[in-house]
Amino acid sequence: MNRNRTVLYQKIYDDFKEKITNGWYEAHSKLPSIRQAAKNNGLSTTTIEHAYQQLSIEGYIYSLPKSGYYVEDLTFVEIQKSADIGDETTYRPALNQRQTKDMFNLNRVRMIMNRVLTDNDQLYEDCHPTGELALKKEIQKHLAKQRNVLLRPQQMIVASGTQQLIMWLSSMFDSHTCVAYLKPGFKRALQAFKTTGFRCMGQNTVDDLIRAEAKIIFISPSNLYPSGDVLPVKERLKLIRYAQDNDAYIIEDDYNHMFRYNAYQIPTIHQLSKGHNVIYIGSFSRNTLLSIRMSYMGLPLALVRDVNHSLFAQSVSKIDQLMMADFLSSGEYQKHLRQLARYSKKRNDNLKIALDPWMDANHFSISGLQSNMHLLITCYNQATKAKFIKNLESLNFAYTTFEANPRLLLIPYSGIPMHRFETLFNTLFAGI
């Protein structure tokens, strides 16, 4: 087809398409024959035929043998105009949920990334489904030294987050397996459990968890969500005994263990149980860059044989995995963690100073300041909660509410620069 014919065919196609989508032609009405349409438009039958063929392929018209072309019934389709679609550029990430630039030294990553990208034959190979061996070996060393968690590389699965790790777990347990958790529970994890077929049961106490007789108990014992409290060793031992006596499993989510300001790091359930019946989950996303989506899971030996390597593709790029392996092996990660611990403590101290004027308020209370990178506000009435939400949204602050405790608001502060604590919190508490 020459260029002129292409332009004419496109014009005829566009003209018919517009009339069909705008309802100028009724459903199932007959279009002019190819010969008649060519005569009406002063064009060749070949040009009209190409236009009709394209309309037919896309489903705007259909043909009946020895009869001609007819308009398809599109009345059930709502044609959404581009003006009705939200502009992606209007999205604003919440100010308080990001990271401040001084939380991570990008020069460390830049230097390591250059090493990874220089003449590395592994980059021309596909990702291993459960994670690169080099990274798993470094995670093994790190966990043994920092958390006294003893795992072999074969027991590990690397993925881009807890939700992806739960997808892996769904393939190792029967459909509708019961997962018990302490209320209110981590929303994203619970959503992943439910989506992949697990049955979730929220409980109020450890004794309730045990009485639920669940196959899986999901818990963050060193930093309970959202309070940041620590699960006492007596309660941990109860869970371990239950799991071992009932062939059940504890999923220990240890992602936020280092953000604690009133004590040293708390030992893991995995360590107490010597790894029996405990599925250990950790993450690099919270203590490096939020944009580095990388978590890992250590399985008990009894579950390793159930890992189906062909089931899921690896969700973390090989480049990021090799970079993290180098970051760990070079000692830069450990250096970063030491600096991050000091920095986080300093931020927390400054936060307490900024919040001090409101610690004895009449309509709400503030808690959760001994760990994590968020604070908790308990509102004593609905009007106070409504005022807080209005102020939070005017500041473009992210917040979380909880069905199990409607009076509670969780407010992250990781993205607020320390020098703006006083000003922004004055605005948050204004009029309350």
Q: Cα-flanking dihedrals φ and ψ of residue 409, to 5°?
A: -125, 130
- Shared-domain flag, residues 315 and 355: no
Same domain, 107 and 56: no
- Please tell me what DSSP assigns to residue 420: G
* Assigned domain for 237 exists: yes
Provide mean pLDDT across the span 88-105: 77
Is the pLDDT at 80 greater than 70? The verdict is no
Q: Are strands 249-253 and 278-283 parallel, antiparallel or unpaired?
A: parallel
Residues 259, 301, single domain; the answer is: yes
Residue type, 149: V
CA distance 222 to 320: 28
Structure tokens at 175: 């459909």
Same domain, 149 and 20: no
**Mean pLDDT value across the chain:** 91
Q: What would the pLDDT profile of 6-61 be if each residue is shown by its tens digit?
A: 678 889 999 999 898 888 888 899 999 999 999 998 899 999 999 999 999 999 99
Cis amide bond preceding 184, omega within 30: yes
- Given the structure tokens 């308080």, which residue do they identify? 96
Burial of residue 249 (CB within 10 Å: 0-12, 13-18, 19+) is buried
**176 torsion bin: left (phi>0), alpha (psi -120 to 50), beta (else):** left
Residues 113 and 58 in one domain: no
Judgement on whether residues 253 and 328 belong to the same structural domain of the protein? yes
Q: Are residues 177 and 273 in the same domain?
A: yes
- Domain enclosing residue 117, as ranges: 101-336
Residue 76 has pLDDT above 60, yes or no: no
Identify residue 349 by its one-letter amino acid code.
D
Q: Which of 279, 313, 336 is the last residue of a domain?
A: 336
Report d(CA 36, CA 52) in Å as an integer. Answer: 13
Residue 18 lies in a domain: yes
The residue with tokens 């470094």 is 138
List the CATH number of the domain containing 377. Answer: 3.90.1150.10
Is 88 a member of any domain? Answer: no
64 and 127 part of one domain:
no
Whole-prediction pTM value? 0.79
Q: Is residue 313 domain-shared with residue 228, that is, in the same domain?
A: yes
| DSSP letter, residue 231 | P
Task: Kindly indicate the confidence band of residue 217, based on its pLDDT and cuts at 50, 70 and 90.
Answer: very high
Question: Does 89 fall in a domain?
Answer: no
274 and 201 in a single domain? The answer is yes
**Considering the domain boundaries, does residue 79 fall inside one?**
no
pLDDT of 2 above 70: no
Per-residue pLDDT tens for 334-377? Answer: 999 999 999 999 999 999 999 999 999 999 999 999 888 999 99
Residue 235 phi/psi, 5° resolution?
-70, -35
Q: Which two tokens stand for residue 179?
A: 């997962």
* Dist. CA 387–CA 432, nearest whole Å: 7
What's 39's domain CATH number? 1.10.10.10
Per DSSP, the three-state class of 203 is strand
Q: Which CATH number fits the domain that encloses residue 173? A: 3.40.640.10
Residue 10, in any domain of the structure: yes
Query: Residue 370's closest CA among 267, 266, 260?
Result: 260
Residue 217 contacts residue 251 (beta carbons within 8 Å): yes
Looking at the structure of the chain, the number of domains it has is 3
Could you report the per-residue pLDDT of 153-180, keeping only the tens digit for each? 999 999 999 999 999 999 999 989 999 9
Say whether both 305 and 231 belong to one domain: yes
Q: Are strands 249-253 and 405-412 parallel, antiparallel or unpaired?
A: unpaired
Q: How far apart are CA 122 and CA 132, in angstroms?
A: 10
Average the pLDDT over each of 13-27, 63-77, 90-104, 378-392 and give the range with the smallest value: 90-104
131 and 251 co-located in one domain: yes
Stretch 132-144: mean pLDDT: 97
- 78 within domain boundaries: no
Residue 386 lies inside a defined structural domain of this protein: yes
